């Protein structure tokens, strides 16, 4: 029977099927960070258990740390410091490999996995973090788990899982100028809704997906969780293999050949059955921006704030009303007129070198508008070094952007980078929930190029009006 990419990876990892149909699924790579692990290690300790395969586990510190120079002098917030110290202590006690805080490979867990060549096609990858779906861009089955499951994987290298359903999102045609993977995935979520993928694993297909580089595919898979799906995936192809070949973790010699042979068998077979298929035309996608407090409340930048009175039912009306109020908007207002206080370019959605290049291309030779705080936070130390080698940091600094140290930063209100109540941000991150970037903060999600345009304009802006002035050198 023809199989999907998901079916193939799933079948290759079932250790045992339990009588009720639950599978004991083998996990190839377990990534960990400081926020969702302390209680898991506590559980192991209490039960006298250890890590079954430390070499298949990798820890990194990303959520709690400052992204300014203060990270070099120690973490100020005592609770954050304790959480980080706890991960460091647990790594030593349980023999888990950990990337030290001040290592040049440190970065956001979902940036470093692929970049170090640890996330590979055909793998099962988990992390106590919903955006683990990012790694699906490699052609892996990657999904987020809770802390109890982290403990389960540490102890057994397996998870109890029920099979997901298959969903295909087919995006054909060419993306227009100014559009990127971010615009694709926002448009997809706008179409299917935040629960549209529940119970499914989404495989992205079509020539618009094939044309994306790995960073673009990671952006798409990253936000798949906002569409409610367990995981997002893109079948591995030459783009994937070329990317992996450049990473330090790439299999070498004969291993590379045999790995490649297996990876090439992974794409979904002709005629494989999908439980649900959604199609989008890439050329109809305009640059997207969210206006509300759920990622599904997204519109083309040319759009206007919806009127709650137009809602199809009372529940939706109340929801829209609440969003309009929270976001400080007026129905009918043009999105392009909304002034922004803060621009955040970063997060595991959009902090890779390609994202920073996209922002720099728009910013080059221009300047951030008065009164706007614009920050660029590279996803990892390696991204930062690469950007600096390319001179992107100077371009951005000259344009008035802050150039910061890697971490989750303003993606979530957990470390010193936070919005103040009432502040409006244009953000390349993945969640616009109430208070996500700090209590009372108002978030508009968009692509790195769109974020750069908003920084220059001082309000949400259409990146298509900001053609690059000069090429990046």
Site for ligand SF4 in 380-409 (CB under 6 A): 408
For residue 196, count other CB atoms closer than 10 A to its CB: 21
Three-state SS at 414: coil
Pairing between β-strand 165-172 and β-strand 276-281 as defined by DSSP bridges = parallel
Nearer to another protein, 1 or 46 (CB): 46
Which is nearer to ligand SF4, 166 or 351 (by Cβ)? 351
Edge-to-edge strand list for the sheet holding 23-26: 14-17, 23-26, 158-161
Contact 449, 343 (CB under 8 A): no
Q: Is 468 exposed, middle or buried (0-12, 13-18, 19+ CB in 10 A)?
A: middle
| Interaxial angle between packed helices 147-156 and 38-47, expressed in degrees from 0 to 180 and rounded to the nearest 10 | 50
How many other C-beta atoms lie within 10 A of the C-beta of residue 50? 14
Q: Which residues of 381-401 are buried (b: 16+ CB within 10 A; e: fewer)?
A: bbbbebbeebebbebbeebbb
> Contact with another protein (CB under 8 A): which of 3, 68, 156, 311?
156
CB of 30 to ligand SF4, least distance (A): 15
Span 307-366, contacts to another protein by CB under 8 A: 315, 319
| Shortest Cβ 330–ligand SF4 spacing (Å) | 30
Helix, strand or coil, per DSSP, at residue 228: coil
Residues 162-181 that bind another protein (CB under 8 A): 162
- CA dist 321 and 293 (Å) reads 11
**CB 396, min distance to another protein, A:** 27
Figure out which of the listed residues 360, 412, 452, 456 binds another protein, where binding follows CB under 8 A. 412
The pair of three-digit structure tokens given for residue 94, joined into one six-digit string: 């349980």
> Which positions from 429 to 458 touch another protein by CB under 8 A, shown as an x/- string?
--x-xxxx--xx------------------
Q: How far is the CB of 224 from ligand SF4 (least distance, A)?
A: 13
x-or-dash string of contact with another protein, 277-306, rule CB under 8 A: -----------------x------------
- Regarding 247 and contact with another protein (CB under 8 A), the answer is no
CB count within 10 Å of CB 316 equals: 12
DSSP 8-state symbol, 227: G
77 binds, among ligand SF4, another protein, none (CB under 5 to 8 A by kind): another protein
Q: Does 155 bind another protein (CB under 8 A)?
A: yes
- The stretches of 281-405 forming alpha helices (DSSP H) are 314-326, 353-363, 381-389, 392-398
439, two tokens: 């209590």
* Binding-site size, ligand SF4 (CB under 6 A): 14
Q: Does 131 bind ligand SF4 (CB under 6 A)?
A: yes
DSSP reduced 3-state for 269? coil
8 is a site residue for another protein (CB under 8 A):
no
Cβ of residue 471: shortest distance to another protein, in angstroms?
A: 39
Could you say which of ligand SF4, another protein, none residue 49 binds, taking C-beta under 5 to 8 angstroms by partner kind?
another protein
Site stretch for ligand SF4 (CB under 6 A), options 107-115, 260-268, 356-364, 438-446: 107-115
Footprint on residues 330-359 left by ligand SF4 (CB under 6 A) = 347-348
Contact positions with another protein (CB under 8 A) in 65-94: 77, 79-80, 82-83, 86
Query: Which CB sits closer to another protein, 121 or 216?
Result: 121
In the numeric block, the tokens 């683990």 are attached to 132
Residue 134 CA: distances (Å) to CA of 23, 204, 225, 227, 233: 23, 12, 9, 13, 8
348 binds, among another protein, ligand SF4, none (CB under 5 to 8 A by kind): ligand SF4
**Interatomic CA distance for residues 279 and 172, integer angstroms:** 8
Decide which of ligand SF4, another protein, none touches 115; Cβ closer than 5 to 8 Å per partner kind.
none
Q: How far apart are CA 353 and CA 454, in angstroms?
A: 20
- Answer yes or no whether residue 273 interacts with another protein by CB under 8 A: no
**Binding residues for another protein, total number by CB under 8 A:** 77
Any contact of residue 418 with ligand SF4 (CB under 6 A)? no
Going by the DSSP 8-state scheme, the letter that residue 336 receives in this structure is G
Q: Are strands 288-290 and 298-300 parallel, antiparallel or unpaired?
A: antiparallel
Closest CA to 377 of 364, 362, 393: 393
Alpha helices for 338-380 (secondary structure H): 353-363
x-or-dash string of contact with ligand SF4, 150-169, rule CB under 6 A: --------------------
Binding residues among 121-140 for another protein as defined by CB under 8 A: 123, 128-130, 132
Helix (H) or strand (E) holding 148: helix 147-156
Q: Which stretch binds another protein (CB under 8 A): 154-162, 208-216, 266-274, 372-380?
A: 154-162
Site for ligand SF4, rule CB under 6 A: 62-63, 108-110, 129, 131, 347-348, 408, 411-412, 429-430
């Amino acid at each position: 029977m023809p199989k999907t990419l998901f079916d193939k990876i799933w079948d290759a990892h079932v250790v045992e099927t339990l009588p009720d149909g639950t599978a004991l699924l083998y996990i190839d790579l377990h990534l960990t960070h400081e926020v969702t692990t302390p209680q898991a290690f506590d559980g192991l300790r209490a039960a006298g258990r250890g890590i079954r395969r430390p070499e298949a586990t990798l820890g990194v510190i990303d959520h709690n740390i400052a992204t300014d120079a203060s990270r070099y002098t120690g973490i100020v917030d005592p609770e954050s410091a304790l959480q980080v110290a706890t991960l460091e202590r647990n790594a030593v006690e349980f023999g888990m490999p950990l990337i030290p805080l001040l290592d040049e490979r440190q970065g956001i867990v979902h940036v470093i996995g692929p970049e170090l060549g640890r996330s590979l096609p055909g793998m099962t990858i988990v992390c106590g973090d919903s955006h683990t779906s990012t790694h699906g861009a490699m052609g892996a089955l990657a999904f987020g788990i809770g802390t109890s499951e982290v403990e389960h994987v540490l102890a057994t290298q397996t998870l109890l899982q029920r099979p997901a359903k298959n969903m295909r999102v087919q995006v054909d045609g060419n993306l227009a100028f100014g559009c990127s993977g971010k615009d694709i995935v926002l448009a997809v979520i706008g179409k299917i809704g935040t629960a549209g993928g529940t119970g499914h694993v989404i495989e992205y297909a079509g020539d618009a997906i094939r044309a994306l580089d790995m960073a673009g595919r990671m952006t798409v898979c990253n936000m798949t969780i906002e569409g409610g799906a367990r995981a997002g995936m893109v079948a591995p192809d030459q783009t994937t293999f070329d990317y992996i070949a450049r990473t330090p973790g790439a299999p070498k010699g004969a291993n590379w050949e045999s790995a490649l042979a297996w990876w090439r068998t992974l794409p979904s077979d002709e005629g494989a059955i999908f439980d649900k298929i959604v199609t989008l035309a890439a050329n109809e996608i305009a640059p997207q921006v969210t206006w509300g407090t759920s990622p599904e409340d997204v519109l083309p930048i040319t759009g206007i704030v919806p009127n709650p009175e137009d809602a199809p039912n009372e529940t939706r009306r109340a929801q829209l009303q609440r969003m309009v109020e929270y976001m400080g908007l007026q129905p009918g207002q043009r999105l392009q007129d909304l002034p922004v206080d803060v621009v955040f370019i970063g997060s595991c959605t959009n902090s890779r070198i390609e994202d920073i290049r996209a922002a720099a291309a728009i910013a080059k030779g221009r300047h951030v508008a008065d009164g706007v705080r614009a920050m660029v936070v590279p996803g990892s130390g390696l991204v930062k070094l690469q950007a600096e080698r390319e001179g992107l940091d100077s371009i951005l600094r000259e344009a008035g952007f802050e150039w910061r140290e890697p971490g989750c930063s303003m993606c979530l209100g957990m470390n010193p980078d936070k919005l103040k109540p009432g502040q409006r941000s244009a953000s390349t991150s993945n969640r616009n929930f109430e208070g996500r970037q700090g209590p009372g903060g108002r978030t508009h999600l968009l692509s790195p190029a769109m974020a750069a345009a908003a920084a220059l304009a001082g309000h949400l802006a259409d990146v298509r009006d900001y053609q690059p002035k000069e090429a990046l050198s």
